[in-house]
Amino acid sequence: MSLLETNLPAVPAPSPTQFITLTVVAIVLAALSILWGFVDPRLIEGVPVWMKPLKFALSFALLFGTLALVETRLSAPAREGWTMQITGWVMAAAFLSEMAYMMYQAGRGEASHFNLSTPFTELMYTTVMAIGAVALVVGTAVVGWVAKRDQAAALSPALREAIWLGFLLTFVLTMIVAGYMSVGSTRFVGLHPEGAPTLPLVGWSGVTGDLRPAHFASLHAMQALPLLALWLGRAGEANGAVRTIRIAAFGYATLTFAIFAQALMGLPLIPLG
């Protein structure tokens, strides 16, 4: 019997909660980006113009899907309370505004990130998108805090701790890494010549420092630690599971900072040339 099945309140039946709705919207936007990509062959810096909206839509789908899984395990008072409702609306506004701008820029064949070419694009990137990004990671931490405090939630002690620490790490680490990225004019630390080798699928530089691997790690602490808690539950590791999660959280943060430091030294995550 797993940690999730021992002395836990019954899991409420899934319902169309706010985060489930946002997950569906993100999936629809990802599908639209794929379809438009088939009929719009334009490139930005050698990358299809609709790749950016596609990647972000998929990332949002994973974010909101994770939040939805937590939301459905909360008790009704916590799930329906003002804290969760306001957090959901704020995150929805940030998500929709960011996706709208990225898709608008893709339609124009222009970059949405690191684009300071006009007062409008500078305002959107440095202010609107920056505020939206902060709102999204703050909202993630708030959901983790609600799960931590909701003692009636259908969560084992280890999973509760993993959600709280994972969501908190996503907030803290993303603020550090993404905050550093936002003040620069490029994602690279050093020179990445056009046509230089990159890692398959993700496109990270194989020849110079790239801040995106650390950003990726910071964003996905919120999935990594809860997955570890679920694995511990399946393995029947009840004793010391909370302590294991705390040690793993420290290790995950250390690894993320190591990847970040490697990029700052101008070194690729995996050298390719």
Calculate mean pLDDT across residues 222-245: 89
pTM of the model: 0.89
pLDDT, residue 234, reads 82
Q: Is the model's pLDDT at 5 over the cut of 50?
A: no
Distance CA 166, CA 233 (A): 17
pLDDT computed for residue 45 by the predictor: 79
- Each residue's pLDDT tens digit, 162-194: 999 999 999 999 999 999 998 877 889 988 988
* Residue pLDDT, tens place only, 41-65: 999 877 899 999 999 999 999 999 9
Please give the pLDDT value at position 185. 75
Secondary structure string (H, E, C) spanning the chain: CCHHHCCCCCCCCCCCCHHHHHHHHHHHHHHHHHHHHHHCCCEECCEECCHHHHHHHHHHHHHHHHHHHHHCCCCHHHHHCHHHHHHHHHHHHHHHHHHHHHHHHHHHCCCCCCCCCCHHHHHHHHHHHHHHHHHHHHHHHHHHHHHHHCCCCCCCHHHHHHHHHHHHHHHHHHHHHHHHHHCCCCCEECCCCCCCCECCCCCCECCCEECHHHHHHHHCHHHHHHHHHHHHHHCCCCCCHHHHHHHHHHHHHHHHHHHHHHHHCCCCCCCCC
Mean pLDDT in the chain? 90
